[in-house]
Amino acid sequence: MGTVDVPEATVARLPQYLRALSAFADAGARTVSSEALAEAAGVGSAKLRKDLSHLGSYGTRGVGYDVEQLRRQIADRLGQTTSWNVVIVGIGNLGHALAGYGGFASRGFRVVGLFDDGPQVVGEVVSGLPVRPLEELGEVLRPGEPTIGVLAVPAEHAQGVCDRLVAAGVTSVLNFAPTVLRVPAGVDVRKVDLASELQILAFHAQRKATRAVAPLPAPAAPAAAPLPVHPLDAVRPRVGEVV
């Protein structure tokens, strides 16, 4: 079944499934239905089943999925069987937070190097690791072990640093700087853009506000609720739809 070609949208959800599965495992559950797992992961059950089918799942009809087996299978697919090396470049405001983040290690990511070029930052020890100058990048990267580079430098330096990472053999980059990175084919870049996220929220908030003033479908409706929604009309919790 699902050897090659796992759809990208599915891949993006696997981490969520994995987290939910771990929660079920911790709670002592031995099996889960697609319904329960989907609920915990915040998606529809049909989507979940289709996603799992893409990687050749082993559910048993009438029962559900074996928690431990499925957890291991997804973990395998996400490469969690081996531990990945991570280097962080730019140990400023954000870099400090990232360097001390426990969510890395618990998911098989090992921070093996911190880099910066600020004279007063280099040499500092952050979360047990010394901050090194970028020149020492080569001493940390092992050719055999694929390494993920995390960029937390100012936007104007991001491309330059990225180039150096790529030149040193990094083929996976997570970019926090609000800029478009250009990389050769074969190199993966994902970006986390905080300002964009806020802007998208603002767009929707604005849309909600203008809608409230001039509602489209029912013009005859009298005063709608002045403040949007009541928090505890909890008849249906309804997961917030995102992308």
Ligand X SMILES: NC(=O)c1ccc[n+]([C@@H]2O[C@H](COP(=O)([O-])OP(=O)(O)OC[C@H]3O[C@@H](n4cnc5c(N)ncnc54)[C@H](O)[C@@H]3O)[C@@H](O)[C@H]2O)c1
Q: State whether the Cα torsion 137-142-143-148 is positive or negative.
A: negative
Q: Say whether residue 137 binds DNA (CB under 7 A).
A: no
Measured from the CB of residue 240, what is the shortest distance to DNA in angstroms? Answer: 11
Taking CB under 7 A as the criterion, the residue among 17, 20, 55, 65 binding DNA is 65
User: Nearest-CA neighbor of 170 among 137, 148, 186, 151?
Assistant: 148
Which positions from 117 through 156 interact with a second copy, judged by CB under 8 A? 143, 146, 148
Please state at what angle helix 45-54 crosses helix 34-41, rounded to 10 degrees.
100
Q: Say whether residue 166 binds a second copy (CB under 8 A).
A: yes
> Where is 138: in which H helix or E strand?
helix 137-140
Q: Which stretch binds DNA (CB under 7 A): 41-49, 160-168, 181-189, 203-211?
A: 41-49
Instruction: Specify the pairing of strand 147-151 against strand 59-60.
Output: unpaired
Q: Say whether residue 72 binds DNA (CB under 7 A).
A: no
Q: Which does 91 bind (CB under 5 to 8 A by kind): a second copy, ligand X, DNA, none?
A: ligand X
Question: Using CA atoms, how far apart are residues 21 and 23, in angstroms rounded to an integer?
Answer: 5
Q: Say whether residue 59 binds DNA (CB under 7 A).
A: yes
Q: Which stretch binds DNA (CB under 7 A): 56-64, 78-86, 208-216, 222-230?
A: 56-64
Buried b (16+ CB within 10 A) or exposed e, 4-37: eeeeeebeebbebbbebbbebeeeeeebbebebb
Q: Say whether residue 35 binds DNA (CB under 7 A).
A: yes
Residue whose CB is less far from ligand X, 48 or 161 = 161
Query: Which chain residues interact with ligand X by CB under 6 A?
Result: 89-95, 97-98, 101, 103, 115-118, 121, 134, 152-155, 157, 160-161, 176-178, 194
Tell the residue number behind the tokens 């996603």, with chain if given: 51
Taking CB under 8 A as the criterion, the residue among 62, 184, 217, 219 binding a second copy is 184
Taking CB under 7 A as the criterion, the residue among 16, 22, 47, 122 binding DNA is 47
**84 SS3 class:** strand
**Whole-number Cα distances in Å, 70 to 47, 49, 50:** 16, 12, 14
Q: Which two tokens stand for residue 40?
A: 């915990």
Which positions from 26 through 85 interact with a second copy, judged by CB under 8 A? 40-42, 56, 76-80, 84
Measured from the CB of residue 86, what is the shortest distance to ligand X in angstroms? Answer: 12
Longest dimension (CA), the chain: 71
Q: Which does 47 bind (CB under 5 to 8 A by kind): DNA, a second copy, ligand X, none?
A: DNA
Tell the residue number behind the tokens 């300002």, with chain if given: 195
